[in-house]
Amino acid sequence: MAAAAKPDYEAADRKLDRHMSVWQLFFLSMGGIIGSGWLFAAIASASVAGPGAIVSWIVGGVLVLFVALNYAEVAGMMPRSGAIVRYPHLTHGGYTGFILGWTYLLSAVSVPAIEAEAVVTYASSYIHGIINPNTTELSWPGGILFGIGLMILFFIINYVGIRFMSQFNAFVTGWKFIIPGFTIILLLVLDLHTKNFGSYGGFFPLGTQPVLGAVASTGIVFSYLGFRQALDFGGEARNPQRDVPMATIASVLAGMFIYVLLQVAFTGGINWGFFHVQVGDWAKLLAPGSSAADAPFYILMKGSGTALLGGFATLLLIDAFVSPTGTGYIYLGTSSRTVYGLSVVGYLPKQFQGITARFKIPWLALVASTVVGCLFFLPLPSWYELVGIITSATVLTYIMGGIGLPILRRTAGSLSRPFRLWGSEILSPIGFLGAALIVYWAGFFTLAIVFAAVFVALPLFVWFYAPMRGWINPVAGGVLGLVFLLLWVIVQRWGQYALVAVPAKVAHPQFGVFYFVTICLIVGFTGVLWYLSNEEGRKAVSSTWWLIFFLLSMFAISYYGAYGAAGSQGAPATVGIPFPADILAVIMTSLLAYGWAVHSGYETEEIAAIVLSGSGLVGQGPIGQVGPTPQSAGAPAPNPQPGG
């Protein structure tokens, strides 16, 4: 007799349009990679690392490649739309999944607005009044309305379905290959100043430490993170188990090739006099008075004195609309799949799983992503400030790539793996370590904002998800969440690093006390949640202690390390972990957290249901049924039951 059927957690997945080919997945990922990053990240990284920014692009690309390789096996085994926020839930249960899912959501919903802001910023070089010259923020009404109009355009392109969007994107991405490609060739052939690579302070004029810091803080990793599109649209691929891994890995390699050459071309093409910057003063490339901040490559070509480059610069103004727009609508699609994925695992209401009958897209998730994205047009820092924060929030979730692979080999070993990562015993911890280093290099002041935004959502977990799953009494959860929220806001405002109008950029005179209270709040909340939960809830909470340890440890190392606040104004000169001892501290902490995380993973109810179905693909046999499917026996297909 067949076992009793379990809830179908993937009923909504069966309604998605599985249409995309490997090339369309690749173009989605490349469309996410070649966006505002190619317009702004070259000058941002050069201002931090000088010619050494070329190395920064290589380091960033290699680390992201390690992350992508781990996800390639998992995504090939179990492709899903909204995949990145669903995998942690499958390996560590609801508490870990919620923390990392919320973190990923913060980054996903904000990127379309950042790309729209990039369009407006470049347009400000020929449309006056849309950027506030004193703050570099979008001005009201022109700049903000311009940005909202772009978000509406992104919405329309996504709403008419994945078939149209993927086909339209193929043409747009083709353009996005051509313009950077010609930019590289023309600058290297017609405007290469070899002195820029070594005559003004050497290849590392600001030292080697900024070379690593530039990886996370100047848009380098932000640019590479577009590889995730193939993962998050995996449930809408025609042959996902073959195509998702191929598109994911190929996009990172192609992105590295293009961006390294773009950095070489930009560095060699700098005309110091036309930029209004003293010769060799790399740090002043983005300082007030530089003429290149709003349109770097455009100004670079205009100042070359070469007629062909000056004429080609006009095409860059067109591409400054096309490239960020192409990335913006792709990321809005990713954002909607993130909201959809969070709904599938139960962190958001099931209404967000609603699929349109005609276009087969998660329409309510798309509407919500568009509305929330528009909120980022409120007075906020410029592109250069936001990318560091968004990069850290995104990469923080990518630590699960290296962790999830060995756990799923243990808990879902019977599922087919068309792509199997060779040497995962080494490459999985390296993938985790790579993500951890990128997070660390973002710097303490950025991490303080990210961590504050991540943990402020914990009350939502005990107000909504935990009671819904029957883990905790709703009244007890309500009180616990309210008390934590009030204390967390008070402590963060006291620390002055986050949840304040103007975050502090100096060391805290009582950081030890601030850090101790932070530990007490997070550990206390988690401990009380464990105590109040039932057996299922306690198992999920217990599997999250490694993440609490990792985040709190990184917070301390980030403060006292070479990229932190310990050496800034107001801190004792003797406090701090010098470079590269701080890197060693991150490596040791990360490897300890990695081992703990792999040991903590377990067979969740959801992954058990997928394994029981016999296939990692959606629709390959009814979830929870053992033996021949009703379809194979000639019986009508069962009606899927909605699940959380």
> What are the tens digits of pLDDT across the range 364-394?
999 999 998 888 777 665 556 666 677 778 8
pLDDT beyond 70 at 569? no
Of residues 84 and 595, the one with the higher pLDDT is 595
- Taking a C-beta distance cutoff of 8 angstroms, is the pair 514, 494 a contact? yes
| 492 Cβ contact partners less than 8 Å away, ≥ 6 residues apart | 452, 456, 498, 499, 500
pLDDT-based confidence at residue 624 (cuts at 50, 70, 90)? very low
Nearest of 377, 378, 436, 357 to residue 403 by alpha carbon? 436
Q: Give the pLDDT confidence score for residue 600 in this predicted structure.
A: 96
Of residues 375 and 541, the one with the higher pLDDT is 541
Per the CATH hierarchy, to which homologous superfamily does domain 1-442+602-632 belong?
Amino acid/polyamine transporter I (1.20.1740.10)
pLDDT beyond 80 at 137? no
* Residue 462 to residue 276: CA distance in whole angstroms: 55
The stretch 178-203 carries a mean pLDDT of 91
Classify burial at 378, counting beta carbons within 10 Å of its beta carbon; exposed 0-12, middle 13-18, buried 19 or more. exposed
Residue 371's identity, in one-letter code, is: V
* Residue 606 to residue 611: CA distance in whole angstroms: 9
pLDDT beyond 70 at 568? no
- Taking a C-beta distance cutoff of 8 angstroms, is the pair 547, 526 a contact? no
pLDDT-based confidence at residue 570 (cuts at 50, 70, 90)? very low
* Residue 389 to residue 229: CA distance in whole angstroms: 20
- Taking a C-beta distance cutoff of 8 angstroms, is the pair 206, 48 a contact? yes
Q: Give the pLDDT confidence score for residue 342 in this predicted structure.
A: 87
Q: Give the pLDDT confidence score for residue 486 in this predicted structure.
A: 97
The stretch 233-257 carries a mean pLDDT of 89
Q: Give the pLDDT confidence score for residue 237 in this predicted structure.
A: 82
pLDDT beyond 60 at 564? yes
| 176 Cβ contact partners less than 8 Å away, ≥ 6 residues apart | 30, 31, 34, 35, 319, 322, 323, 326
pLDDT beyond 70 at 460? yes
- Please give the DSSP secondary-structure letter assigned to residue 3: P
pLDDT-based confidence at residue 566 (cuts at 50, 70, 90)? low
The stretch 256-263 carries a mean pLDDT of 96
- Taking a C-beta distance cutoff of 8 angstroms, is the pair 113, 406 a contact? no
DSSP string, 267-300: HHH--HHHHT--TT-GGGTTSTT-S-SSSHHHHH
pLDDT beyond 90 at 288? no
Q: Give the pLDDT confidence score for residue 381 in this predicted structure.
A: 58
pLDDT beyond 80 at 522? yes
- Taking a C-beta distance cutoff of 8 angstroms, is the pair 68, 248 a contact? yes
User: For residue 355, which phi and psi values (nearest 5 degrees)?
Assistant: -115, 130
* Residue 445 to residue 504: CA distance in whole angstroms: 8
Q: Look at the block and give the residue holding tokens 């963060």.
A: 492
| 123 Cβ contact partners less than 8 Å away, ≥ 6 residues apart | 130, 146, 317, 320, 321
* Residue 206 to residue 488: CA distance in whole angstroms: 38
Rounded to two decimals, the pTM is 0.84
DSSP SS3 for 323: helix
Q: Look at the block and give the residue holding tokens 């042959």.
A: 239
Nearest of 441, 192, 163, 143 to residue 304 by alpha carbon? 192
DSSP string, 39-54: HHHHHHHHHHHGGGHH
Quickly count helices (H) and strands (E) in the chain. 27, 0
DSSP SS3 for 591: helix
Q: What is the mean pLDDT of the chain?
A: 85
- Please give the DSSP secondary-structure letter assigned to residue 237: B
The stretch 516-529 carries a mean pLDDT of 96
pLDDT in tens, 6-64: 455 666 777 776 778 889 899 989 988 988 788 888 999 999 999 999 999 999 999 99
Q: Is 324 left (phi over 0), alpha (psi -120 to 50) or beta?
A: alpha
pLDDT-based confidence at residue 229 (cuts at 50, 70, 90)? confident
The stretch 403-412 carries a mean pLDDT of 95
pLDDT-based confidence at residue 579 (cuts at 50, 70, 90)? confident
pLDDT in tens, 412-451: 999 988 889 999 999 999 999 999 998 898 888 888 888 9
Share of the chain above pLDDT 90, in %: 41
Q: Give the pLDDT confidence score for residue 634 in this predicted structure.
A: 36
Q: Give the pLDDT confidence score for residue 7 in this predicted structure.
A: 54
Q: Give the pLDDT confidence score for residue 54 in this predicted structure.
A: 96
pLDDT beyond 80 at 189? yes
DSSP SS3 for 233: strand
